[in-house]
Structure 1
Amino acid sequence: MFTIDAHLDLSMNALEWNRDLTRPLEEINAREHGLTDKPDRGNAVVSLPDLRKGNIGLVVATQIARFVSRDNPLPGWHSPEQAWAQTQGQLAWYKAMEAKGEMVQITDLASLENHLHLWMQDPAPSSAKAIGYILSLEGADSIVNMDNLHISWQNGLRALGPAHYGPGRYAQGTDATGFLGTKGKELLREMEQLNIILDATHLCDDSFWEALDHFNGHVWASHNNCRALVNHNRQYSDDQLKALIARDAVIGGALDAWMMVPNWQRGVSTPQEMACSLDVLIDHLDHICQLAGNSLHVGIGSDLDGAFGREQCPYDLHSIADLQLLKEKLSKRGYSNLDIQHVFHGNWLRFLRRAWGN
């Protein structure tokens, strides 16, 4: 089934992990054998060939670069200008992939529909097709000022999450508290004028509610799970999920094990011992469907290359292509074929057609 993944950190992996994503997974992981500088060395599950194997023809692909002040212990850049430069390097990688015919940027309704025709109707094998990508910015710290936002839009930016982990320049993120402030509200106003999608993912509770109050554009949560199942501020409460549903948002289920099962200990727990399988993702998706009363607000936002790999993802997933296993699992849980289409691509497409159709 044609699949949309609403959250992959492809350029971060290409540049900061030094992975040649045009190569097969086996080759990428073999080249990392013995490396210990990253927690997931040798455990990658994402490559462009494996996206094609899984019929994942469209992704939301990120730029990401955090600014950190002197008292912020998180990794990041020491000035917004450095963060901006990092995101521009990431953009250059996407452009290089376009030049090579590996990827194609999707920015509007016409390019979306042309790409869907290629993947869903053209009989050519998936291995011969470019992966479509919608450019997203995860954390707005690199937006030095609103001129940078306009430059980013011209370069194809179509979705933006104002914060990532910790305190941000425009909003507060995971494990932080607090509100948007004047700069955050200005960012939302400019995003609304440019029709940039607000990605509510990672916003702390305070900033989440304030953002919804001050932003009248289109909202999604690209990779979020349910606090009712894993009690941590990274997940969203039922009230937050209901608020997103009321805005006709789509919430992408994420496959980072610590977000899927409670009591995960990083570097200690294993997917097998914690019973973290693809069925657990369906638990989260089903929880949202029960809140909504339908299957119209869930999708896939795997985050499968978000600084983890096989050591911290469902034990029955060895490659991102294995997302196709969800089809049979959803069917066994009573989901109709139409429901399954909604999860795999239909809901994201409905959202994009509405957002870009005006």
Structure 2
Amino acid sequence: MKKLEKNRFIVDAHLDLAMNAIEWNRDLSETIDNIRNREMHMGDRPDRGNGTVCLPELRKGNIGLVVATQLSRVSPLGSPLKGWHSPQQAWAMTQAQRIWYQEMEKIGEMKQITNLQELENHLVYWNNIESDDKKAVGYILSLEGADSFVNVDYLHEAYDYGLRAVGLSHFGPGRYAPGTKMTGPLAPEARILLKEMGKLGMILDVTHLTDEGFEEAMDSYEGPVWASHHNVRQLVPNQRQLTDRQLGKLIARGAVIGGMLDCWAMDIRFIDAVSDPWQLDIKLEKLVDHWDHICQLAGNSNFIGIGSDLDGIFGTEQSPWDLNTIADLQKFEWILQQRGYKEDDIDNIFHANWLNFLRRNWK
């Protein structure tokens, strides 16, 4: 991939764009200043006015390919987590999110990528179009948490409209698997789902699985696997992060692990809705500690990338203090150079590892 004059090409493997557009009511085709100004006096969510992601900022940061999610939880009776009360309602929300992506395509803001030829075509397009033109950001569609699959037939329907990656769980209880801050194995229905995903060659995203669910999924799923947005448990010892054993299994499978920029996943001192990134001096460089750890386990930089999760139900109040918008992912170039990473290593992290993963598994 040829470098542009100023910025390296970036792949971000986890962004909840449609959730922000539909549930947060953010017009992501607008500038970040306009989005923040619209929310200046809104107090319904802690991250109002603190958003970091929009399509103009993706283009500014040369972030030309993203893994973009559908996200809709089913909340069972008694659960404190917000969510829909039936799978059918959750499915309907994912369809609203899907249609938003389609609307962005109609106005030239985005372009869906579903196979290897489309990927290669998009890379040529993005690399050669004039920099002052409005580029369509490429997106690979992923489902974060499988609750909205009413049954396995819905998986096939989703594959037909371009879904290419699935995570079984999110936070709390799930219809197919328990998720973050829980324990326990996969639900029996998950094995049926995994079997069908394997037939379709879909990517399993192990992010948010419990330790038991991770082991079951890795042992039973024979298709491609990645961890779109995960950090290291050795540095942040909570269940949301990956253990060295889990990292070893992912490396052995040729997976890529995307480093995420939610402060509580970067620094054990950070407490949601209490801590301040500036006071704790949590900067972008903190993520490099997590990447370093994985590189030491692997012996190289071939298994790490960016899965920022920016604006994933948080904003600047819970992001590194030296990040204003997602375009600041470019700051990692200088940070990595100062930490001794070579040019090829930086390319690996910025884009090459994700692209090589897709080329191997989509050929």
TM range (shorter): over 0.9
Letter in 2 for 1:262: I
Identical pairs, percent? 58
Q: Give the CA deviation at 1:226.
A: 0.5
State which of 3, 10, 13 in structure 1 corresponds to 2:20: 13
Matched, 1:148 2:171: no
> Deviation of residue 119 (structure 1)?
1.5
Q: Which amino acid aligns with 2:281?
A: A
Cα offsets for 1:296-325 (capped at 9, x unmatched): 000000000101111110110001000000
> Aligned pair 1:228/2:234, yes or no?
yes
Q: 8 Å contact 1:9–1:61 — kept in the other structure? A: yes
Counterpart of 2:107, as a letter, is: K
- Give the 5 Å matches for 1:229-308: 229-308=235-314
Structure 1 counterpart of 2:206: 200
Equivalent pair of 1:53/1:126 in contact (CA under 8 Å)? no
Counterpart amino acid of residue 135 in structure 1: L
1:180 aligns with 2:186: yes
* Contact 1:61 1:133 survives alignment (8 Å): yes
Equivalent runs, 1:201-216 vs 2, <5 Å = 201-216=207-222
Q: Is contact 1:8–1:61 with CA below 8 Å preserved after alignment?
A: yes
Cα shift readout 1:46-65 (whole Å, capped 9, x = no counterpart)? 00000000000000000000
Matched ranges for 1:89-128 at <5 A: 89-120=96-127, 122-125=128-131, 127-128=133-134
Q: How far did 1:72 drift? A: 1.4
Q: Structure 1: which 5+ residue stretches go unaligned?
A: none
What is the DSSP-based 3-state SS (H/G/I as helix, E as strand, rest coil) of the residue aligned with 1:259?
helix
Q: What amino acid sits opposite 1:16 in the alignment?
A: E
Query: C-alpha deviations, 1:313-354, integer Å up to 9, x for none?
Result: 011000100000000110111100000000000000000001
Deviation at 1:264, TM superposition (A): 1.3
Normalising by structure 2, we get a TM-score of 0.97
Which residue among 71, 79, 86 is the counterpart of 1:72?
Answer: 79
TM-score by length of 1: 0.98
1:4 aligns with 2:11: yes
SS at match of 2:65: strand
Aligned equivalents of 1:315 and 1:345: distance in 2? Answer: 24
CA distance in 2, matches of 1:142, 1:109: 27
Residue 342 (structure 2) aligns with: 336
Residue 282 of structure 1 contacts residue 330 of structure 1 at CA under 8 Å; is this kept in 2?
A: yes
SS in structure 1 opposite 2:164? Answer: strand
Aligned letter for 1:167?
P
Say what the alpha-carbon RMSD is for the aligned residues. 0.8
Greater alpha carbon shift after TM alignment, 4-13 vs 270-279:
270-279
Instruction: Give structure 2 stretches of 5+ with no counterpart.
Output: 1-7
**Separation (CA, whole Å) in 2 of partners of 1:10 and 1:135:** 11
In 2, the alpha carbon distance for the partners of 1:181 and 1:265 equals: 31
Q: Which runs of 4+ in 1 moved over 6 A?
A: none
